[in-house]
Structure 1
Amino acid sequence: MRRQVTIVVYHHIAEQEDPLTSKLGVVTRPDVFEKHIKHFARHFDMVSGSDLVSGTLPRKPLLITFDDAYRSVLDTASTILKTANAPSLFFVNPATLLGSSLPVDNILSLAAEVLGMQQVIALLNINEAGLTSVRRLIGNVVPKWTQAQLAHAKQQLCAAMGTDELELRRTSKLFLGVSDIKTFAGLGIEVGNHSMSHPFFRSLSANELETEIVQSRELLEKLSGQTVQCLSIPYGNALDATEGALRAARHSHKAIFLVHAKSNRFKPAADIFYRISLGNAAPEELPLKLRIMPVIRSVRDWLW
């Protein structure tokens, strides 16, 4: 019997910010993460991605997921999860894993730290009012860029900082390497597909979607030795669940994940699932964030 499932998403589990993440709002402190896991263990039945895909779920299912390729999931989160006997699903970008690229988000965060937000905007020749933060820039401008424009922007920013993308990836300690992903299965971590290089899908061609979705999955299976059944759409926005993206995804995946923090009681298709980003939410806020607000958002959007 299919049951309504609660799905949470995290990114980087760390005590302190890094210049590559400080402007992104993706860090959850380990002590907070541990409190969240203890709350889940008390109030939910924690399940795996395979459990979700099978459709046979316990009474109060909750799935823990991670996005991107931060090695803190392996170094820090996995120990906390193992103590609670909690499975998880880790959506990874193989281009970051292989060391061939970094998501534009991380480069923008570093550039804002090193150069300042105004110089970043000037360098990228952006003429749009109200861009006072990296997160606004990512939400309002980056989705419009083609792959070529994205690559050029990263090159410009790195040059202004006196470095390049490969050097940043090589010297950073934030991200997983190829050998790390092979250890996931022994830790109860399933591998999911988060696209090859973490772009917004809405601006991609059919060939680019093939690379980002289908070829990415094939590469992750080869690198991890696991069967990859699930896709997390980068940035988690329904606008990127385009007809072309869904068509490419459904050829090779059994579940597709967004964010939006809405209730899966009202999800738009059987294979699409909403997730809730908890960040550093206090434990006493979790009942509201996990049970009440998702329903309110879903009803509000339905009424609108």
Structure 2
Amino acid sequence: MFSDLFKKLLYASGALGAYHRWRNARTLTVIMFHRVLSPDDPRWARCDPDYTLRADLFRQCLEFFTAHYNMVDVQAVLRARRGEGVLPDRALLITFDDGWRDNVDFALPALRSLGLPSLMFVVSDAVGRREAFYQERIVGAWRQGRLDAAGLAQGLQRVGAPPAEMPSDNGIATLRRLIGHVERLEATVRTRLLADLAECLDDGTRQMIDAGELHSLLEGGVAIGLHGKTHTPMTAATDLDAELGGAREEMAARLPADRPPTTMSFPHGRFDDAIAQRARDAGYELVFTSVPVINPTHDGRLGWLLGRLGFETDAVADPQGRFRPDLLALYLFRRPGRVLA
């Protein structure tokens, strides 16, 4: 209780804000979101809570950003990278990963009402697809009681890839360990497993954006970048050229000729130095990671490989679900700064 009170007083006093204005003056903070939903939306009951923010909390985060940062669009970041301009003090760029339809339904209206730009990294093959990524479908089926950890382990057994130990509980941590096992399967084996579980995994709802919504996002101030072709981790991709250059060509064909995609982020945050360089060679001017650092801009220039800060609900809300700006300030204002490349 005393710890919570101290955090609230520290924020209310203005001391945290003053520290931030001094410490992070010459920086670019990049925020990473995934899904934004309202609890009264049917998709809420099936989403992965670790990657989903309640719509009202999302708007309060936006209001917090506008109070403490200078909001920028990706074009301003590109100009700074090219040496054609300088970012303002305490610059902040909002990004989204994957290409969820709920970003159009809930995030876009909030952004437009506040006049804020953003950048969405879209999985090329997911555009127009109804079903979510298999990890999300497994979590959704588990949340609705259609699949438990034992059932997933039995499915792995049926395709000849049983886990080392059968699950002893049905908790989310156990489920995530089994999902990790699914991720490591050879692609054809994983396809058989998902086909075997298809009935319980299918929620009957279109989850991903379509081509028309891509244009709605552009009109609403949301720039489009790439998040790979298939959402496969780049470190596990069998065709890296397709995931990088191929995805860029596919997305360019869907976008206006004057807005070719020049940015990307790594699916699942996985990459190495060689993959980052391959992305740069494929024509991406800015490459975004999930490395949780703030990007320094002390010399007026900016690196091409950028860190991003993501957070879960407990970083912005108390156990009762009430927005806590002090928690968000303590999380964001103290993150380390580092040039990645």
Match status 1:162 vs 2:199: yes
Match status 1:96 vs 2:118: no
CA distance in 1: counterparts of 2:277 and 2:177, whole angstroms: 26
Query: What SS is found at the alignment partner of 1:247?
Result: helix
Where in structure 2 are the equivalents of 1:63-212 lying within 5 Å? 63-99=93-129, 102-113=132-143, 114-124=146-156, 125-127=162-164, 132-138=173-179, 140-141=180-181, 144-145=184-185, 149-162=186-199, 168=202, 171-205=204-238, 208-212=239-243
Give the aligned partner of residue 9 of structure 1.
32
Unaligned 5+ segments in structure 1 are: 299-304
CA distance in 2: counterparts of 1:194 and 1:275, whole angstroms: 14
Query: What SS is found at the alignment partner of 2:57?
Result: helix
Query: What SS is found at the alignment partner of 2:115?
Result: coil
Which segment drifts farther, 116-125 or 226-235?
116-125
Give the aligned partner of residue 331 of structure 2.
289
Give the aligned partner of residue 46 of structure 1.
71
CA distance in 1: counterparts of 2:26 and 2:222, whole angstroms: 22
Contact 1:233 1:241 in 2 (8 A): no
1:81 is aligned with what amino acid?
Answer: L
1:194–1:151: structure 2 CA closer, same or farther, 3 Å change rule? farther
Count of aligned pairs: 280
Give the aligned partner of residue 27 of structure 1.
52
1:186–1:160: structure 2 CA closer, same or farther, 3 Å change rule? closer
Query: What SS is found at the alignment partner of 1:295?
Result: coil
User: 1:122: Cα distance to partner?
Assistant: 3.0
Contact 1:104 1:150 in 2 (8 A): no
Aligned with 2:245 (options 211, 214, 219)? 214
Identity over aligned pairs, percent: 21
CA distance in 2: counterparts of 1:128 and 1:248, whole angstroms: 38
User: 1:12: Cα distance to partner?
Assistant: 0.9
Which segment drifts farther, 29-38 or 115-124?
115-124
CA distance in 2: counterparts of 1:100 and 1:74, whole angstroms: 15
User: 1:258: Cα distance to partner?
Assistant: 1.2
Contact 1:107 1:154 in 2 (8 A): no
User: 1:178: Cα distance to partner?
Assistant: 1.6
1:132–1:122: structure 2 CA closer, same or farther, 3 Å change rule? farther
Query: What SS is found at the alignment partner of 1:184?
Result: helix
Unaligned 5+ segments in structure 2 are: 1-24, 81-85, 157-161, 317-323
Query: What SS is found at the alignment partner of 1:183?
Result: helix
User: 1:67: Cα distance to partner?
Assistant: 0.5
User: 1:51: Cα distance to partner?
Assistant: 1.3
User: 1:107: Cα distance to partner?
Assistant: 2.9
Contact 1:229 1:254 in 2 (8 A): yes
CA distance in 2: counterparts of 1:284 and 1:9, whole angstroms: 19
Contact 2:132 2:207 in 1 (8 A): no
Calculate the TM-score normalised by the size of structure 2: 0.74
Aligned with 1:253 (options 275, 284, 288)? 284
Where in structure 2 are the equivalents of 1:233-272 lying within 5 Å? 233-237=266-270, 240-244=271-275, 246-265=277-296, 270-272=303-305
Query: What SS is found at the alignment partner of 2:50?
Result: coil
1:172–1:127: structure 2 CA closer, same or farther, 3 Å change rule? same
CA distance in 1: counterparts of 2:137 and 2:187, whole angstroms: 11
Give the aligned partner of residue 302 of structure 1.
none
